[in-house]
Amino acid sequence: QKEVEQDPGPLSVPEGAIVSLNCTYSNSAFQYFMWYRQYSRKGPELLMYTYSSGNKEDGRFTAQVDKSSKYISLFIRDSQPSDSATYLCAILSGYALNFGKGTSLLVTP
Amino acid sequence: DVKVTQSSRYLVKRTGEKVFLECVQDMDHENMFWYRQDPGLGLRLIYFSYDVKMKEKGDIPEGYSVSREKKERFSLILESTSTNQTSMYLCASTSRLQGAYEQYFGPGTRLTVT
């Protein structure tokens, strides 16, 4: 079983919609949870990270970790066409990151 | 701004050829990583290095080797390419002090093996 599972989508929403992206993970010992964003033909870049449980908000983006159910979520409010990208969840395991497969998001004007 | 550069954006090689992929970072990061990214499989770690001349196998090291002779440079070597190594290769680096959760990625090298 992969350590991080993510539905690859694709997900298509109209501009202004609320987007919910989700991952599950297997090891309850993990403490750092990340969301990376990858635009077409570019490398991934860190969008947000959360340590342990709870919510973290940054502008239109909210990252949420529920350790009891081993669930990671990213919410995007008032989605924009510029949010169209692949979103990858990741967990830190030692030196390395374990990534989900990524969810492809398209926001249509 | 951290910059991670990769030697080529696109490469086309024939089966059996040797390939060097080079990665250079300019932020004095200790840790460097090589991933491959494939549709439906996501990002998978090939090798990483936490110091000069040090290396650790990732999830899929078979068919690859690495070299880190200088802190800023991390090379991925494909000794004898095969068609199943057609992929996007991504290099990343991170600082041990800043937090290993923030990896800085290069733009990637799309390798096609025919």
Q: B84-110 pLDDT, tens per residue?
A: 999 999 999 998 777 778 899 999 999
Q: Which residues of chain B have a pLDDT value below 70?
A: 1-2
pLDDT of B67: 97
Q: Out of B31, B43, B102, whose CB is closest to A95?
A: B31
Phi, psi of B39 (to 5 degrees): -55, 135
**Would you say A20 and A13 are in contact if contact means Cβ atoms under 8 Å apart?**
no
Cross-chain residue pair A46–B102, CB shorter than 8 Å: yes
Q: How far does the CA of residue B57 sit from the closest CA of chain A (Å)?
A: 11
Q: Which amino acid is at A72?
A: I
**Would you say B113 and B14 are in contact if contact means Cβ atoms under 8 Å apart?**
yes
Q: How far does the CA of residue B45 sit from the closest CA of chain A (Å)?
A: 8
Q: How far does the CA of residue A59 sit from the closest CA of chain B (Å)?
A: 19
pLDDT tens per residue, range A91-109: 988 878 899 999 999 999 9
Place of tokens 């650790």: B56
Peptide bond between residue A10 and the one before it cis (omega within 30 degrees of 0):
yes
Token pair for A42: 């570019």
Exposure string (b/e) for A36-59, b if CB count within 10 Å is 16 or more?
bbbeeeebbebbbbbeeeeeeeee
Chain A residues with beta carbon closer than 8 angstroms to that of B50: 95
